[in-house]
Amino acid sequence: MAVKALYYSERDGLDMALKHPDTMLFSSKADADARDKILELAEEITQFLHNRVEGLGEELAEKAALAIAEEKDLFAKALKKPSVLNAIAGDDSNNED
């Protein structure tokens, strides 16, 4: 029997990672570190949203922040070309820098 190491972000927690192994368990430490950085960014975005958007609920703020953090590269491109945010997935003509 082979032994395989699996990694997860402590921010997700082991229980949550085991419930969602396809998206929260990783075979490399680098991938787990990348997930951890996304979660760290999401925490900061959540705090930003709470400070800037009056009446925004905790759950919705967390969901929005995670969506933004997971698509940070897309948002970086959108700073140059806003239309990329709503471009149809797979349309490479909208992914120009």
Residue 94 has a pLDDT of: 44
8 A C-beta contact, residue 9 and residue 26: no
Tell me the average pLDDT of the chain. Answer: 87
8 A C-beta contact, residue 78 and residue 96: no
Residue 90 has a pLDDT of: 53
- Distance from C-alpha of 90 to C-alpha of 65, rounded to nearest angstrom: 24
What is the per-residue pLDDT across 3-36, written as a single tens digit (0 to 9) for each? Answer: 888 899 988 888 988 898 888 899 999 999 999 9
